[in-house]
Structure 1
């Protein structure tokens, strides 16, 4: 196993760039951190470039690279800390190739679309819930935080390995789903919106949820088949986007 000791090592510098959106896009790679996410990556068909293991964890995590013959590199605690975004690091990371397959989104099951969702915790929770609800995939629209943000990945808890997830234009996909006869539902709080309870549970649909402060873009709402709201009985003005989407995903999918 190769060992790297210098923080100035060229490879280490390239890995560190993966903590930024610009770096991830340029390299077409991203980092997952922690044992659970690394194991989820290994269970999936993710393309793992290399495992990065802290020197005191090499023996503990030997099974990870031995059973799959994955390249692994031993690094010092200083390097491991430099690459970590977690409060408590576990001493193992994986460098993974970004893979998006728009053709895998057919609408055979429901699809969630995210319009300018900017909080990485919300984005990760939305993906995790879409996975739990049995959705086919998630489309992350322009203006949203990207899936490979470390905090988003932690919140998703590996669910991004179980779904088809792409970063793409929502309006383009509204047209695609309509051409396929698949209803598209937005979420809104205006007078034209209808209660989600008026919609019969179904097997195929697309659901759009929006920005934490402003909701779904009005231009997008004009293109949907129906816009839905969740009746609120208490005095809260609205629900967190991830909570609202969770209610709708489980309620609308038959």
Structure 2
């Protein structure tokens, strides 16, 4: 038997029916052109939900849950610590599967506003060291892991080139394990802007290259750095690689040709975190 307080908590949670037209509109947000048009994106699962609730960067527009998840919330309203102004829609399992990009949907999809971060004189003065720049990362999993590793090591400003995969791609968000809600992602930043930023604000440009660079552990510390990562197979553009103040590589002793981009980025970010005394 529920107490009066429990009954009150349950009565405050209202689930709206999800119409077919609304369901169709949400599915469109899996496409980049609609995400940009609406300035919204989809995230899935409780990790993303709790991350979105805790951070102000990308506020929740609405929530969709399936019948099973809704029943869990009715039994335990504390699962949903959110403002009553946010609409919550209830749908069937089949509808949830049509909305989700996961093989086994967790029963909750959230639609969030995309907050736009701009590189200007004001933000430059507040930017932490180092900044992370992904010039042309094409694989959603790699970009998501780079975002996750950046957040883990306390580097919360990530600049994304115009030819990168969309950071609000559902697979990127899933690979980031919700950490995209806690970092600042600056989109469509051309390499020329990176060079101009370095010149104007006194950053050292550090290019991560597969081979031929300074061994990572021998790289001299600078007060301000922009660490640059390129395409998975092509690497950084020649323009950026040649313009870099330093080129770094991770020494290896095995027989493989190279490291996966996100693995290499994580190792490099760890080394810089150590140099900055973050442990």
Compute the TM-score of the two structures, normalised by the length of structure 1: 0.91
Match in the other structure for 2:204:
183
Gaps of 5+ in 1: none
How far the C-alpha of 1:50 sits from its partner, in A, is 0.6
Give, in whole Å, the separation in 2 of the partners of 1:190 and 1:49.
45
- The answer to whether residue 127 in structure 2 is matched with residue 98 in structure 1 is no
- The answer to whether residue 60 in structure 2 is matched with residue 48 in structure 1 is yes
Change (3 A) 1:201 1:134: farther
User: The residue matched to 1:215 in structure 2 has which SS?
Assistant: coil
| Residue 127 (structure 1) aligned to one of 141, 147, 152 | 147
- The answer to whether residue 39 in structure 2 is matched with residue 18 in structure 1 is no
Give, in whole Å, the separation in 1 of the partners of 2:90 and 2:203.
50
Structure having the higher helix fraction is 2
Q: Deviations over 1:75-101 (max 9, x none)?
A: 122221110001111111111001122
Q: Deviations over 1:42-101 (max 9, x none)?
A: 111131111111122113234455642122111122221110001111111111001122
Q: Deviations over 1:177-235 (max 9, x none)?
A: 231111110122465x3222221345531101111111111112122111111122222
Match in the other structure for 1:233:
253
1:53 and 1:75 in contact (8 A); partners too: yes
1:3-152 equivalences under 5 Å are: 3-4=16-17, 6=19, 9-45=20-56, 46-61=58-73, 62-65=77-80, 67-69=82-84, 70-103=86-119, 104=123, 106-152=126-172
Worse-superposed segment, 111-120 or 62-71: 62-71
User: The residue matched to 1:235 in structure 2 has which SS?
Assistant: coil
1:65 and 1:72 in contact (8 A); partners too: no
User: The residue matched to 2:244 in structure 1 has which SS?
Assistant: coil
Give, in whole Å, the separation in 1 of the partners of 2:219 and 2:146.
21
The root-mean-square deviation of aligned C-alpha atoms, in Å, is 1.9
Compute the TM-score of the two structures, normalised by the length of structure 2: 0.84
2:51 and 2:182 in contact (8 A); partners too: no
Match in the other structure for 2:8:
none
Aligned length: 251
